[in-house]
């Protein structure tokens, strides 16, 4: 039987659009059937926004590529209807261990508190991630939702107009044209759409190379993230080890700058490195090998008229910290509901500018953390290395030094502090659920809070009487009332010392505004602001 990444999952099939005399207009066309493009397509289809996904391939990604998926990403996937199969397939973990040469310096717990439905992280090969998304799309198609994936469709030209985008597409049977009200470029770090429109990245490329080796082996190593500074099997460099499903292990070796990249990918050279790390008698098979360079870069803007960039097409960060795919999924999460409101005519087109501002804010935060990680892992001067090694020595014995050890600050969701859609805040409520923050999970006795939020605007009332509402200011709205006795986690995360609270939650589960009492006029104003009409 072929492996999942060897067989077509959305093979080329001729579309009726190829036989029309004039180009067919679609509300949304997504270019790229990777994790970000598929997430966006699912989100839009669930909201009944017609979407066509174009991809020049017909298979899921080869190699595990993105492998660490954070709790916030899993919560988004739950809302998209495909979180459960990913968690069931993935390897769950929350513990990280840091080593200096052969000595364990310390370990950390990424989710020390209880009351969360999803784990801190799962490890899952990207091809399984994409497969679960495609299965979800097929389920949506069977339910009559307006979503389509066209494999073997390569975008060869893009033309911007005031109110649409014209797209030329190459297929095995020749080329044809489409029009899109909105074109979303999710076509990766080497984005053809970005190049066609004359855009480039700004930022830094770090002078270092890293080797990824995904190997298949039977081993009883613990399920945790293991990171080495200056290990004996890779002296003067670093290394990383992760467990994945199907007995696949991700090994990551720092190589340095002046190397022969092709030579380093030769199977025998890779196998020699693995044996140095795991022992000469270790039995394993190579599944995938790649060499990459640290990059922390982004586009100056993520929008260009009616063309919008998301995921790696808009930004790149170093893999240490698992910020690439996780931030891309959050791009899709931020964008889909805004497109829905604009397409429906419920919000002005200027609402899309808030995607640009909020996700650039998130990207700059990711780039800052990735840059700091990179500079700690790969010091570029003698004094920087002396400082790094001194921190590692201290961290083994003194807790105060451990926060300074940076082996890759792991992905957390962005909080849109000062964001353009944020409404009023009451300082009596806990800072962790302030406007701009993603709503925090909490158990409700039966079920979980987040499964009752998202997809539309929600008024969350905890211990405060609020009237029934199905819409306000022309925006569909639901009301979720919870008693103060719902659970200690709910109180700690949403009330603090306050006797009650009212939250306005956006469709992407981020907090838009909050009060300690019912305020209808305040809610109206916050809803206008959250939909770009303030």
Give the pLDDT confidence of 240-270 residue by residue, as tens digits: 999 999 999 999 999 988 899 999 999 999 9
Give the pLDDT confidence of 417-429 residue by residue, as tens digits: 999 999 999 999 9
Give the pLDDT confidence of 20-67 residue by residue, as tens digits: 999 999 999 999 999 999 999 999 999 999 999 999 999 998 866 889
Alpha carbon 118 to chain centroid, angstroms: 15
Instruction: DSSP for 181-202, please give it.
Output: EEEEE---TT-HHHHHTT---E
Instruction: DSSP for 271-291, please give it.
Output: HHHHHHHH-TT---EEEEEEE
Distance between CA atoms of 5 and 125, rounded to whole angstroms? 10
- Per cent of the chain over pLDDT 70 is 99
Give the pLDDT confidence of 501-512 residue by residue, as tens digits: 999 999 999 999
Distance between CA atoms of 153 and 31, rounded to whole angstroms? 9
pLDDT of residue 204: 87
- Determine contact, residues 335/308, Cβ cutoff 8 Å: yes
In the predicted model, what is the mean pLDDT of residues 98-109? 93
Instruction: DSSP for 356-379, please give it.
Output: HHHHHHHHHHHHHHHHHHHHHHS-
DSSP code, position 256: E
In the predicted model, what is the mean pLDDT of residues 423-444? 97
In the predicted model, what is the mean pLDDT of residues 334-341? 98
Helix (H) or strand (E) segment spanning residue 297? strand 285-298
Strands (E), 359-493: 457-462, 471-472, 475-482
Comparing 82-91, 275-284, 403-412, 501-510, the range with the smallest average pLDDT is 403-412
Collapsing DSSP to helix, strand or coil, 30 comes out as strand
339 contacts: CB under 8 Å, gap ≥ 6: 28, 44, 49, 182, 352
pLDDT-based confidence at residue 104 (cuts at 50, 70, 90): very high
Task: Please give the structure tokens belonging to residue 330.
Answer: 């959050």
Handedness of CA 474, 476, 49, 190 (dihedral sign): positive
- Determine contact, residues 356/302, Cβ cutoff 8 Å: yes
CATH architecture of 4-90+120-200+297-365: 3-Layer(bba) Sandwich (3.50)
In the predicted model, what is the mean pLDDT of residues 216-234? 94
Task: Please give the structure tokens belonging to residue 310.
Answer: 């998301």
pLDDT of residue 64: 62
Distance between CA atoms of 41 and 80, rounded to whole angstroms? 10
The yes-or-no verdict on residue 105 having pLDDT over 80 is yes
pLDDT of residue 171: 98
Comparing CA positions, the residue from 121, 108, 175, 187 lying closest to residue 406 is 108
Distance between CA atoms of 180 and 307, rounded to whole angstroms? 9
- Determine contact, residues 51/146, Cβ cutoff 8 Å: yes
DSSP code, position 527: H
Phi, psi of 38 (to 5 degrees): -70, -40
In the predicted model, what is the mean pLDDT of residues 319-343? 92
The yes-or-no verdict on residue 73 having pLDDT over 80 is yes
In the predicted model, what is the mean pLDDT of residues 276-304? 93
Give the pLDDT confidence of 462-493 residue by residue, as tens digits: 999 999 999 998 899 999 999 977 779 999 99
- Which stretch, 380-394, 395-409, 433-447, has highest mean pLDDT? 433-447
Distance between CA atoms of 120 and 128, rounded to whole angstroms? 19
The residues facing 159 across adjacent strands are 166
User: Whose structure tokens read 């209808």?
Assistant: 520
* CB count in 10 Å sphere of residue 511: 27
Collapsing DSSP to helix, strand or coil, 469 comes out as coil
pLDDT-based confidence at residue 3 (cuts at 50, 70, 90): confident
The yes-or-no verdict on residue 199 having pLDDT over 80 is yes
Residues 344/350/353/354 CA torsion (nearest 10 deg)? -70
Radius of gyration (C-alpha) of the chain in whole angstroms: 24
The yes-or-no verdict on residue 281 having pLDDT over 60 is yes
CATH architecture of 431-530: 3-Layer(aba) Sandwich (3.40)
Phi, psi of 80 (to 5 degrees): -85, 0
In the predicted model, what is the mean pLDDT of residues 401-430? 91
- Determine contact, residues 165/155, Cβ cutoff 8 Å: no
Give the pLDDT confidence of 137-173 residue by residue, as tens digits: 999 999 999 999 999 999 999 999 999 999 999 999 9
Distance between CA atoms of 137 and 306, rounded to whole angstroms? 25
Name the average pLDDT for the chain. Answer: 94
Distance between CA atoms of 495 and 481, rounded to whole angstroms? 14
Query: What are the extents of the domains in the chain?
Result: 4-90+120-200+297-365, 431-530
Angle value at C-alpha 495, between 493 and 499, nearest 5 degrees = 160
233 contacts: CB under 8 Å, gap ≥ 6: 239, 273, 276, 277
Strands (E), 374-421: none
- Would residue 115 be called left, alpha or beta, if left means φ above 0 and alpha means ψ between -120 and 50 degrees? left
In the predicted model, what is the mean pLDDT of residues 504-523? 97
pLDDT-based confidence at residue 410 (cuts at 50, 70, 90): confident
Distance between CA atoms of 478 and 82, rounded to whole angstroms? 23
pLDDT-based confidence at residue 371 (cuts at 50, 70, 90): confident
**pTM of the entire predicted model:** 0.95
Buried b / exposed e along 329-358 (16+ C-beta atoms within 10 A): bbbbbbbbbbbbbbbeebbeeebbbbbbbb
- Determine contact, residues 152/169, Cβ cutoff 8 Å: no
Handedness of CA 269, 270, 276, 278 (dihedral sign): negative
The yes-or-no verdict on residue 2 having pLDDT over 80 is no
- Using CB atoms within 10 A of its CB, is residue 115 exposed (0-12), middle (13-18) or buried (19+)? middle
* CB count in 10 Å sphere of residue 151: 19
pLDDT of residue 1: 34
- Per cent of the chain over pLDDT 90 is 85
Residues 20/23/28/34 CA torsion (nearest 10 deg)? 70
């Amino acid at each position: 039987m072929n492996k999942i990444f060897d067989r077509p999952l959305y093979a080329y099939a001729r579309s009726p659009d190829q036989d029309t005399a004039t180009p067919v207009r679609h509300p949304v066309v997504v270019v790229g059937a990777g994790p970000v493009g598929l997430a966006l397509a699912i989100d839009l289809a669930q909201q009944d926004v017609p979407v066509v996904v174009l991809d020049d391939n017909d298979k899921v990604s080869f190699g595990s590529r993105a492998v660490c998926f954070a709790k916030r990403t899993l919560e988004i996937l739950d809302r998209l209807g495909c979180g459960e199969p990913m968690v069931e397939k993935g390897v769950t973990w929350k513990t990280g261990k840091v080593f200096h040469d052969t000595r364990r310096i310390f370990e950390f717990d990424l989710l020390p508190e209880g009351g969360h439905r999803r784990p801190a992280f799962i490890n899952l090969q990207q091809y399984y991630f994409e497969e679960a998304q495609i299965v979800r799309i097929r389920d949506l198609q069977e339910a009559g939702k307006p979503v389509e994936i066209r494999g073997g469709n390569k975008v060869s030209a893009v033309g911007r107009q005031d109110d649409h985008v014209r797209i030329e597409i190459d297929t095995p049977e020749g080329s044809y044209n489409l029009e899109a009200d909105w074109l979303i470029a999710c076509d990766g770090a080497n984005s053809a759409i970005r190049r066609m429109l004359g855009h480039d990245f700004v930022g830094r490329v770090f002078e270092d190379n890293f080797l990824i080796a995904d190997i298949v082996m039977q081993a009883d190593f613990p399920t945790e993230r293991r990171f080495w500074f200056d290990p004996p099997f890779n002296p003067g460099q670093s290394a990383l080890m992760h467990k994945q499903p199907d007995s696949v292990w991700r090994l990551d070796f720092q190589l340095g700058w002046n190397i022969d990249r092709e030579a380093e990918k030769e199977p025998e050279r890779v196998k020699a490195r693995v044996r140095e790390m795991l022992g000469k008698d270790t039995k394993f098979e190579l599944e995938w090998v790649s060499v990459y360079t640290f990059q922390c870069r982004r586009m100056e803007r993520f929008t260009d008229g009616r063309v919008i960039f998301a995921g790696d097409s808009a930004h790149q960060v170093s893999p240490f910290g698992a910020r690439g795919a996780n931030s891309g999924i959050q791009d899709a999460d931020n964008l889909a509901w805004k497109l829905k409101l604009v397409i429906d005519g419920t919000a002005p087109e200027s609402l899309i500018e808030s995607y640009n501002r909020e996700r650039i804010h998130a990207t700059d935060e990711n780039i800052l953390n990735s840059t700091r990680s990179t500079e700690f892992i790969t010091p570029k001067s003698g004094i920087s290395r002396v400082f790094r090694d001194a921190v590692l020595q201290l961290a083994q014995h003194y807790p105060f030094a451990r926060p300074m050890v940076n082996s890759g600050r792991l992905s957390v969701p962005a909080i849109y502090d000062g964001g353009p859609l944020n409404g009023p805040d009451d300082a009596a409520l806990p800072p962790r659920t302030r406007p701009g923050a993603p709503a925090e999970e909490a158990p409700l006795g039966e079920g979980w809070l987040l499964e009752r939020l998202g997809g539309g605007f929600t008024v969350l009332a905890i211990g405060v009487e609020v009237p029934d509402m199905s819409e306000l200011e022309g925006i569909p709205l639901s009301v979720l009332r919870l008693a103060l006795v719902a659970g200690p986690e709910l109180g700690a995360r949403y009330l603090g010392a306050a006797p009650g609270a009212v939250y306005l939650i956006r469709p992407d589960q981020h907090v838009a505004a909050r009060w300690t009492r019912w305020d209808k006029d305040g809610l109206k104003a916050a809803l206008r602001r959250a939909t770009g009409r303030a």
